[in-house]
Amino acid sequence: MNTQINRIKDKLATIKEYDKDYNVFGADSHEYTIGKVVSEQEIKDFEQTYNINLPEAYVAFLTQIGNANTSEEAYANSAAGPYYGIYPLGEGLDDLGVENVERFTSYPCLLRSDMTEGQWIALSESTREEGISDEVYYERMGNLFGGLLPIGTQGCAITTCLILTGEYKGRIVYLNEDYQPIFAHEDSFLDWYERWLDEIISGDLVSDNAGWFGYSIGGSSESLWESYKHTSQEAQQLTFLEGLLKKRELTSQLIEEIIQEIPKATELVKESLLTILSKNAFDKAIPFLEEQANTNLLHILQMIHWYGKDKEYWLPLLKAKNKEVMDAETYRFYSYVLVSATSDFGSLLTVGLASDNAENRGQAIYTLGQLNNKQQYVSSFINGLRDSNERVVLNTLQALSTVLDEQLLPVYKEVYQKYKESSEDNYIVTNLKHRLGELGMEIEDLN
């Protein structure tokens, strides 16, 4: 462990050189700084108070590397570390949503890395029961999240925790109040922390499209690919490929091996391989994407939207697929690519405007509002204003910005009469006021 501690110290000493502008998420808060170490006595006092034995790797960090932060920008005085940094020892315990946290830190940790969604729902069900008292709720939350120590925040109500008890003692787990907890892949705090430093140094976390740290498996591109090749289990293959997708760049040799692997893979693995190829060498992915046109249109459109440079190349495909019935997510990406592929996309939105799916109608009318010649589609906007779905009506009003046509006035009046009493926060009426203002009118003029 001493060797690893020394490596981490060396990397921390120069880490700012790799992210001078604080592009890594949270770096502008902790600024890669860390305070003084804590004493062994402070550790013992804390452990006695909370009736626990802290994991060895975490203790080594606190007593040999540092604790807390003196920077004015640091969130809750957090030291340099993933996301908004590492809390000072004993701080941030309220993040568990439990009263009298010291009662529960020594409890057995009930969370498991292999826990299914169904198991999590069953385990956490009692905390969602309606009508229970605060006392009962906190007791149940304490049991659910017993054996955990909050060590940092990721924002958005996501807490980074250290497991204190049981089989997974020393592992990192991410808690989100709305979702099932997620385990980091590393076996110890120091492995997790050093991986964060390594991915900053490699540039993986500094790049413009860097992924969220710590949710996929770590390792070099080469090691991840070798691991992929040496397992036949689809779930494990997908795990290694997810980690590979986060890498900033791949060697040409690795890209060629991926190309050779695609035809042999299962459908799910093929999709993952093709995503990696699209990100790193989109031109080489084109033949494979075109083969998917009749089987996985959503994936094709996502790849084009995220990684394709020449969107116009795909216009024939968009026209060919225009009349197909598409789910809302597919239609959303269809519209994204369409806008980038041609400036005259109005006619290709017709099917979406007439869709039985309100989400598609709303997306189509929103996209229509991005046309330079949207004045020509007043009849479509009128239909949108008369739509039975409030979201479609709202999208239509927003899309009509700068369209000054007196044909809209009687329909605006219909909208006002229908929605003027609908709610206290009436966004439809608010947007209607904006459209009337562009016409030199006020809402009272519709009475």
pLDDT given at position 38: 96
Chain segment 40-64, per-residue pLDDT in tens: 999 999 999 999 999 999 999 999 9
Q: 217 — phi, psi (to 5°)?
A: -75, 145
- Partnered with residue 152 across adjacent β-strands are 160
Average pLDDT over residues 6-19: 96
What b-and-e string marks burial along 363-391, b requiring 16 or more CB atoms within 10 Å of the CB? bbbbbbbebeebeebeebbbbbbebeebb
Report the range of poorest mean pLDDT among 159-173, 313-327, 418-432.
Answer: 418-432
Type of residue found at 330: T
Alpha helices (H) along 51-133: 56-64, 117-124
Q: Name the nearest CA neighbour of 126 among 149, 110, 113, 106.
A: 110
Q: What pLDDT, on the 0 to 100 scale, is given for residue 9?
A: 96
| Cα end-to-end span (Å), the chain | 77
304 within 8 A of 334, measured Cβ to Cβ = no
pLDDT tens profile 92-126:
988 888 888 888 889 999 999 999 999 999 998 98
pLDDT digits (tens, 9 = 90+) for 327-368: 999 999 999 999 999 999 999 998 899 999 999 999 999 999
What single-letter DSSP state applies at residue 37? P
393-405 average pLDDT score: 94
pLDDT in tens, 141-189: 888 899 999 999 999 889 999 999 999 999 999 998 778 999 999 999 9
- One-letter amino acid for residue 43 of the chain: I
Q: In the prediction, which pLDDT does 73 show?
A: 85
pLDDT at 408 over 90: yes
The helices-and-strands tally (H runs, E runs) of the chain is: 21, 4
Residue 211 pLDDT > 90: no
Asked if pLDDT for residue 131 goes beyond 80, the answer is yes
DSSP of 280-301: H-HHHHHHHHHHTTTT-HHHHH
User: What is the arithmetic mean of pLDDT over 292-301?
Assistant: 92
Ramachandran area for residue 20 (φ above 0: left; ψ -120 to 50: alpha; else beta): alpha
Report pLDDT for 420. Answer: 85
- Checking if the pLDDT of 424 tops 70, the result is no
d(CA 136, CA 17): 50
| Residue 425 pLDDT greater than 70, yes or no | no
Residue 96 confidence (pLDDT): 86
What pTM was computed for the model? 0.84
Give Dmax over CA atoms of the chain in angstroms.
Answer: 79
> 3-state class of 24 per DSSP?
coil
Cβ neighbours of 337 (radius 10 Å): 22
Which amino acid belongs to residue 239? T
Quote the crossing angle between the two packed helices 409-419 and 390-399, to the nearest 10°: 140
Do residues 61 and 189 make contact, with C-beta atoms less than 8 angstroms apart? yes
Q: Check pLDDT > 90 for residue 80.
A: yes
Q: Write out the H or E segment, with its range, that includes residue 191.
A: helix 189-201
Q: How far, CA to CA in Å, does 41 sit from each of 38, 64, 182, 224?
A: 8, 14, 33, 42
What is the spatial distance between Cα 1 and Cα 173, in angstroms, rounded to a whole number?
22
**Contacts with 259 (C-beta within 8 Å, 6 or more apart), sequence order:** 277, 284
User: Quick check: 210 pLDDT over 80?
Assistant: no
Q: Is the pLDDT of residue 324 over 90?
A: no
128: Cβ contacts below 8 Å, ≥ 6 apart: none
